[in-house]
Amino acid sequence: MSDLSTIKGVTKPMLARLAKLGLQRADDLLLHLPLRHVDETRLTPIRDLRVGEQAQVEGEIIHAETLSRPRRALICQLQDDVGGLLHLRFLHFYPSQVAMLKTGARIRAFGEARPGFFGLEMVHPQCHVARDEMPLSAALTPIYPTTAGLSQAMLRKLVRWALQQGDLGEILPTAIYAGLQLPDFAVSLNFLHGPPPDTPIESLQQRSGPAWRRLAFDELLAQQLSMRRHHARRRSQGAPRLEPQRYLTNALLDALPFVMTGAQQRVWAQISLDLSTPHPMQRLLQGDVGSGKTIVSALAALQAIENGWQAALMAPTEILAEQHYRKLHDWLTPLGVNVYWLSGTQTKVMRTASLAAVADGTAQIAIGTHALFQEQVQFAKLGLAIIDEQHRFGVHQRLALRQKGRLPHQLMMSATPIPRTLAMGYYADLDVSVIDELPPGRTPVVTKLVSDSRRGEVLTRVRDACQQGRQAYWVCPLIEESEALQLKTALETHELLTAALPGLNIGLVHGRMKPNEKQAVMQAFNANEVHLLVATTVIEVGVDVPNASLMVIEHAERMGLSQLHQLRGRVGRGSTESACFLLFQAPLSDTARARLKIIFENTDGFAIARADLNLRGPGEFLGIRQSGVPLLKIADLERDADLLEAARKIADQLLREQPQAAELHLQRWLGQTGDYVKV
Footprint of ligand ADP (CB under 6 A): 258, 260-261, 264, 287, 289-295, 415, 439, 542, 544, 546, 573
**CB 386 to ligand ADP: min, Å:** 12
Please, what's the b/e burial string for 36-65 (b: 16 or more CB within 10 A of its CB; e: otherwise)?
Answer: ebbbbbebbebeebeeeebbbbbbebeebe
Q: In a 3-state reduction of DSSP, which class is residue 452? A: helix
Return all residues near 579 (Cβ < 8 A) that are at least 6 apart. Answer: 445, 446, 447, 448, 461, 549, 550, 551, 571
Residues 282/314, Cβ–Cβ less than 8 Å: no
Indicate the residue among 155 and 599 with the shorter CB distance to ligand ADP. Answer: 599
- Of 290 and 477, nearer to ligand ADP (C-beta) is 290
User: What per-residue string of b and e applies to 244-276 under the rule 16 or more CB within 10 Å gives b?
Assistant: beeebbebbbeeeeeebbebbebbbebbbebbb
What is the SS3 assignment for 71-137? Answer: CCEEEEEEECCCCCEEEEEECCCCHHHHHHCCCCCEEEEEEEEEEECCEEEEECCEEEECCCCCCCC
- Amino acid type, 177: Y
Near Mg ion by CB under 5 A, which window of 60-68, 333-341, 517-525, 534-542?
Answer: 534-542
CA separation (Å) from 428 to 42, 262, 279, 627, 674?
47, 26, 17, 18, 17
Q: For residue 605, state whether it binds Mg ion (rule: CB under 5 A).
A: no
- Among ligand ADP, Mg ion, none, what binds residue 261 when CB lies within 5 to 8 Å by partner kind? ligand ADP
Least separation in angstroms between CB 286 and ligand ADP: 10
Q: Which is nearer to Mg ion, 542 or 630 (CB)?
A: 542
Contact pick of 280, 542, 569, 618 for Mg ion (by CB under 5 A)? 542
First and final CA of the chain: distance in angstroms? 35
Q: What is the DSSP string of 575-640?
A: SS-EEEEEEEPSSPPHHHHHHHHHHHH---HHHHHHHHHHHHHHHHHHT-GGGTPPPPSS--TTTT
447 binds, among ligand ADP, Mg ion, none (CB under 5 to 8 A by kind): none
Closer to ligand ADP by Cβ: residue 291 or 489: 291
Q: How far is the CB of 287 from ligand ADP (least distance, A)?
A: 5
Q: Are 110 and 55 in contact (CB under 8 A)?
A: yes
Choose from ligand ADP, Mg ion, none: what does 118 bind? Cβ within 5-8 Å by kind. Answer: none
Q: Kindly indicate which of the ranges 49-57, 261-269, 525-533, 542-550 contains the residues binding Mg ion, using the contact rule CB under 5 A.
A: 542-550
- Asked whether the bond before 70 is cis by omega within 30 degrees of 0, the reply is yes
> Which of 295/644 has CB closer to ligand ADP?
295
How far is 638 from 605, CA to CA, in rounded Å? 20
3-class SS of residue 475: strand
Backbone phi, psi, residue 307, to 5°: -95, 10
Least distance CB 321 / ligand ADP (angstroms): 13
CB of 55 to ligand ADP, least distance (A): 55
Closest to 251 measured CA to CA, from 300, 302, 292: 302
Q: Which does 290 bind (CB under 5 to 8 A by kind): Mg ion, ligand ADP, none?
A: ligand ADP
CB of 486 to ligand ADP, least distance (A): 25
Nearer to ligand ADP, 22 or 439 (CB): 439
Give whichever of 282 and 414 is closer to ligand ADP, judged by the CB atom. Answer: 414
Angle between helix 247-255 and 293-306 (nearest 10)? 150
Q: Are 583 and 597 in contact (CB under 8 A)?
A: no
Report the C-alpha gap between 334 and 330 in whole angstroms.
Answer: 7
Is the sign of the CA dihedral 40, 46, 47, 52 positive or negative? positive
User: Whole-number minimum distance, CB 439 to ligand ADP, in Å?
Assistant: 3
Report the partner that residue 258 touches, choosing among Mg ion, ligand ADP, none (CB closer than 5 to 8 A by kind).
ligand ADP
Piece of the chain touching Mg ion by CB under 5 A; list 169-177, 276-284, 541-549, 622-630 = 541-549
Nearer to ligand ADP, 291 or 471 (CB): 291
Using the minimum distance from each CB to Mg ion, give the nearer residue, 188 or 297.
Answer: 297
What span, in angstroms and rounded, lies between the C-alpha atoms of 113 and 479? 38
How many residues in total does the chain contain? 679
Of the pair 56, 294, the CB lying nearest ligand ADP is at 294
Select from 175-183, 238-246, 535-543, 578-586 the region that touches Mg ion (CB under 5 A).
535-543
Nearest to 474 by CA among 485, 492, 462: 462
> Which region, judged by CB under 5 A, interacts with Mg ion, from 295-303, 538-546, 608-616, 643-651?
538-546
Q: Which is nearer to Mg ion, 542 or 605 (CB)?
A: 542
Which residue has its beta carbon closest to Mg ion? 542
Q: How far is the CB of 292 from Mg ion (least distance, A)?
A: 9
Distance, CA of 271 to CA of 303 (rounded, Å) = 10
Question: Does 425 interact with Mg ion (rule: CB under 5 A)?
Answer: no
Smallest distance, Å, CB 263 to ligand ADP?
9
Q: Which does 292 bind (CB under 5 to 8 A by kind): ligand ADP, Mg ion, none?
A: ligand ADP
> Considering CB distances under 5 to 8 angstroms, the limit depending on partner class, which of ligand ADP, Mg ion, none binds residue 638?
none
Rounded to a whole number of angstroms, the minimum distance from the CB of residue 426 to Mg ion is 22
CB under 5 to 8 A by kind: which of Mg ion, ligand ADP, none does 551 bind?
none
Q: Which does 295 bind (CB under 5 to 8 A by kind): Mg ion, ligand ADP, none?
A: ligand ADP
Residue with the shortest CB distance to ligand ADP: 292
CB-nearer residue toward ligand ADP: 415 or 629: 415
Taking the C-alpha atoms of residue 660 and residue 211, their distance in angstroms, rounded to an integer, is 25
| Closest separation in Å from C-beta 294 to ligand ADP | 3
Q: Cβ closer to ligand ADP: 31 or 321?
A: 321
Find the shortest distance in angstroms from Cβ 197 to ligand ADP.
57
- For the four alpha carbons of 324, 345, 285 and 365, in that order, the dihedral sign comes to negative
Nearer to ligand ADP, 95 or 441 (CB): 441
CA gap 446, 103 in Å, rounded: 66
In the complex, least distance from residue 537 CB atom to ligand ADP, rounded to whole angstroms: 16
Q: How far apart are CA 156 and CA 42, in angstroms?
A: 19
Q: Provide, rounded to whole angstroms, the least separation between the CB of residue 291 and ligand ADP.
A: 4
Q: How far apart are CA 420 and CA 610, in angstroms?
A: 10
The two most distant CA atoms of the chain are separated, in Å, by 93
Query: How does DSSP assign 242-283, residue by residue?
Result: -----HHHHHHHHH-SSPPPHHHHHHHHHHHHHHTSSS--EE
CB of 541 to Mg ion, least distance (A): 7
Residue with smaller CB distance to ligand ADP, 56 or 291: 291
Chain contacts with Mg ion (rule: CB under 5 A) = 542
